[in-house]
A and B are shown apart, each in its own frame.
Chain A
């Protein structure tokens, strides 16, 4: 398998994995802690392979996510579009942040995402979510270094095998 193919396999595989992880059941206590995997992987790929990622791509990813989750069609599309826009705008700086600063930036992005989601749901007329609703960005930021290292390592291996 040549490198381009291995790379795109990793790309699509990681996205598919996100959808599965997003749907994966967890014990009740841990449910509110589930990070928004799709956003984390989108952050990684827009930092490392921005030529694959654009607003339109984020939009389509979100639509597929909506189809899986069965929520409002367009909800995740909106969230991911906003995320992707901010990300691509600050990409040049985010890339060279040390890990902890990156994690902090990811935390802010995910927090912003939660606020967007809250706005959408409030407009749709839903009840205000409990306080645990705000825990997910925190776990997302904690998960970010591991997602980053894992995907980076996999990419480095693909590169190493080639040479």
Chain B
């Protein structure tokens, strides 16, 4: 846009040309957005620019990291002793549970061999650190410090010690973007642990709430029920804790019950996450069977052979 530098310039001195240029740029931006919405160009652009993007992410995360480390360094002795005591208590408990689990695993192995089952619960996971950057406060995304070079792929499930956190939605060479289960555009197939009722948990846009908008009125589900991943849809491995139902009410139409759940995973805390390695096989309906019935005209000769 031409800027008049002399003082005699009138206050409204921008001709039609600058408006035209604005329209041109706006049209260009809209074309870019539509193209990106359709084809996800941005991922490729970001991949090409990752050399520049990733260092900026690390720089942006630095102050928070330094603050956390400073907090750690200044934590007083009493507090440390307290956490230490608490942790060793937890460790003891976990150890006891693990010992029992070892026995259970052997038993399970035996039973599985007996049943000749191929699947196992063996789980390849990879540890990744959260890079504490915030790309947009209204989308629930995380950036983790493992990417394509570390073998991360789009679609892998992300867990923490307590439950499911989300899934990988974008991979750069050394970082990956994770969509949290509370993102408004995320939906997760779940099953109620107690009754086996299957439903879908949607993100609500707030970090401590999942919405279960359509539970059948007659469905067996009550406050305090635990939710697990059902494994349907094939994106998430089955049987991981997702959350706990906090409230149930009727939805607006009165046709369904709508519940709210608290996620188990500590979504608001920075630290380490586990990325599940292999994408599970889709446990879903089998591929549609070839149409049966009277053979059509052109299929008829084949079927007679």
Contact = CB atoms under 8 A, between A and B. Distances in A.
B205 A23 contact: no
Most interface-central of B31, B46, B57, B137 (chain A CB within 10 A): B137
Contact of B184 (A20, A51, A126): A126
A55 interface: yes
A133 B138 contact: yes
B57 A74 contact: no
Contacts of A69: 135-136
Interface of B: 1, 3, 5, 9, 11-12, 14, 18, 21-22, 25-26, 28-33, 35-37, 41-42, 45-46, 49, 53, 56-57, 59-61, 63-64, 132-139, 141, 170, 177, 184-185, 205-207, 268, 270
A74 B33 contact: yes
B57 A23 contact: yes
A31 B137 contact: yes
Nearest to B13: A92
A88 B141 CA distance: 35
Contacts of A31: 134, 137
A19 B278 CA distance: 35
A51 B3 CA distance: 7
Most interface-central of A23, A68, A91 (chain B CB within 10 A): A23
A24 B133 contact: yes
Contact of B135 (A21, A59, A70, A93): A70
Contact of B134 (A26, A56, A85): A26
A88 B1 contact: yes
A32 B137 contact: yes
Given A68-B53, A77-B32, A81-B26, 10 more contacts: A23-B135, A24-B63, A59-B29, A63-B32, A73-B32, A74-B30, A77-B28, A85-B1, A89-B12, A127-B185
Given A23-B133, A25-B64, A88-B1, A78 B26 contact: yes
A70 B185 CA distance: 16
A74 B22 contact: no
B32 A28 contact: no
Q: What is the size category of the interface that chain A forms with chain B?
A: 35 or more
Nearest to A62: B29
Interface of A: 19-26, 28, 31-32, 34, 50-51, 54-56, 59, 62-63, 66-75, 77-78, 81-82, 85, 88-89, 91-93, 120, 124, 126-127, 129-130, 133
A74 B1 contact: no
Closest 4 CB pairs of A and B: A74-B32, A23-B60, A78-B29, A31-B137
A78 B28 CA distance: 9
A74 B177 CA distance: 19
A34 to B, nearest CB: 6
A72 B46 contact: no
A67 B49 contact: yes
Given A92-B9, A126-B184, A73 B36 contact: yes
A25 B9 contact: no
Given A66-B42, A85-B22, A92-B9, A72 B133 contact: no
Nearest to B7: A92
A123 to B, nearest CB: 9
23 contacts: A19-B60, A20-B59, A20-B60, A23-B57, A23-B60, A23-B135, A24-B64, A24-B133, A25-B133, A25-B270, A28-B207, A68-B53, A70-B170, A71-B135, A71-B139, A73-B32, A74-B32, A75-B29, A85-B1, A89-B18, A91-B3, A120-B33, A129-B205
Given A28-B207, A31-B137, A70 B177 contact: yes
A78 B33 contact: yes
B133 A54 contact: no
A71 to B, nearest CB: 6
